[in-house]
């Protein structure tokens, strides 16, 4: 998508390519950078001395699912001109993902071995 958008500055590409910008921005910022940092943080934060050592898996899987559904709804929704409720639903899913992730990660922000 980024290549296509950049290409429009140098070559006569169809006008619909410009509509990809919203999906491009959502996918790069939330789908790529935010998701990568969430995954790495979940991996490296101090573990619990008991099992499951990274805490319950359900909230983090919920965060993963909500984040990716959110990126699709908000990014694709805006790019194809879907009703505003679609974009709002996508952004709400992303917010719920952040809440689930923060709630699961917060107790692991601690000194090792505690």
Partner 1 sequence: MPPITRWFVRSALLWFVLALATGVLLAGGVSADIPGTAWTLPYPTYLHLLTVGWLTNLIFGVAFWMFPRYTAEHPRGSDMLGWLAYVGLNAGLLLRLIGEPIQLSGEAKGVLLLLSAGLQLLGAWAFVLNTWPRVKVK
Torsion of CA 1, 72, 104, 112, to 10 degrees: -10
Window 68-87: residues binding partner 1 (CB under 8 A): 74, 84, 87
Distance CA(69)–CA(92), nearest Å, equals 10
Query: Is residue 37 a contact point for partner 1 (CB under 8 A)?
Result: yes
Q: Among 2, 13, 80, 110, indicate the residue that binds partner 1 (CB under 8 A).
A: 110
Contact predicate 82/68, CB 8 Å: no
Binding residues (CB under 8 A) for partner 1: these are 29, 33-34, 37, 41, 44-46, 74, 84, 87-88, 90-92, 94-95, 97-99, 101-102, 105-106, 109-112
């Amino acid at each position: 998508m980024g290549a296509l958008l950049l290409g429009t500055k140098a070559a006569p590409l169809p006008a619909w390519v410009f509509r990809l910008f919203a999906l491009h921005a959502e996918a790069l910022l939330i789908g790529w950078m935010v998701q990568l940092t969430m995954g790495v943080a979940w991996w490296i934060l101090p573990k619990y001395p008991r099992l499951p050592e990274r805490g319950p898996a359900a909230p983090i899987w919920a965060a993963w699912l909500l984040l990716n559904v959110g990126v699709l709804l908000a990014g694709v929704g805006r790019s194809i001109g879907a009703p505003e409720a679609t974009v709002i639903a996508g952004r709400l899913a992303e917010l719920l993902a952040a809440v689930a992730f923060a709630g699961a990660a917060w107790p692991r922000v601690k000194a090792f071995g505690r």
